[in-house]
Structure 1
């Protein structure tokens, strides 16, 4: 019995020893794993810190690049604005203004030369004849002058007195009614392809109000505040001319006063565009005559009145003086400068 007990004890001791060795191995593995875990945690912490520093550095670099780009963009924008300003003031603007002035002068000069040629062609050059003996004088038969383009259709009798418009007087209901009908027609039913001397442009209520005020309140003699644009002023003048042409026909003569050839060129082009007329309607003996000097215009208007014509005087808004000689005529329309931009008051002389 003693041998089995010793054998069992020996076996138990061996198993305990085996278990102890396994325990030690397990503890060593646990220690190794713990060391590996600690090392991995350290590496992860270091990696996290490195990533944080890298991201922070990248963000700082991006922010710096953003600020640098913003500064460059602002510099480029300021440079662009400066270049545009320099172009407007030193090259482009001046060139455009010069081109407009040259074109206006060209139109005015070409029109004036054409008018001069047309007038010269109408002159009758009589050959010199030797003196006849004073036996009997035979008066040559009177020759009727060749009518111009706008005179065709007139009665040919220029000895009749010029009409005296009285738009604001009572007793002219038919004339007043006709004027209002024409203004309503221009405003509500514009005809962009109508006959010459008929308004061909869009006519707004503000334009109709100005023209109506000139006819019925000012009686066809007065100043209207400028519309701020010469083209708008020309539109109002064109509507006035169209109405008066409808009332008085070819007896109406329009005399435009502007102090520079460029502005006269703008008036010529604007009236042609608004009324559907051409260069043949401009000239000393035609429907519209352009003037730079008020004295010459006044002389022309006096001759027209003596011939039984009805002169309509239109004065550009850049005229700072109005001659008193122009105010004696029955029809005159002056465009007054805007008081906010007026540097000095209009003078009369």
Structure 2
């Protein structure tokens, strides 16, 4: 509804008009409709021409009838209720409604922005703290990396030194065995006389021993305690030259007696005959390396594996050069 006086727009609920009544109004009444606020401002109409009933005592039936007839002739006019200020203010115009909504939204947005601002401030403080912690951690990591790199270099140097020292110690240990020979396969007996057995060996291979040639004879513990093979016999001779003479004599004897190589029967030991092997006395490391070289030579078809002065050599065949097996990496050279 649009007020004919103030031209303000009202919805039916604010104008206190039901939908049914609105549909019954014609066009003129809609165009001439006034809101309650404009109606309250209009002046009151003059009631000087209104008929007033005469005051007469009601003392007779005639008077009573006359009074009733006069009351019927009086035009009664319904009193208009004056709208109170509260009822006027209860009608809200579109502009006021927009203003109220705008104020509410502005207040709500301000509160939300204030909360967001506080949250952003908190995030900023948290990020600043995390950045400081990250810088500290990054510095610590860089320091640790430098320390680790330094330790890695030191470790590499130490490993190189340890390897060098290990090789030197191994060489020294091998040099200490330079005048020793090792016999494997000699059966053990409680009443055995190892010195006489060694003398019997020298006589057999035509390299007899003198009393001063043999400095010490003993058996050593097994590397593999579960093995049923007899313990090795270590003979310490007077010199490396004497050792080489005996080894050369054993090699000649085995070449000349291919069908009856050196065995326990030749050394005067009764019982079942078992082969006896005479070789240089190697360190445990070189023994392990010698066994690995023999195994690799067998796999690759290499014909010759021998030891000279504590060093291990492998040769593929008569025409190929000798390969010095210094360590386990050298085994890769056997092809």
TM-score of the pair, normalised by structure 1: 0.34
Q: Greater CA radius of gyration, 1 or 2?
A: 2
Is the helix fraction higher in 1 or 2?
1
Higher relative contact order (CA 8 A, sep 6+): 1
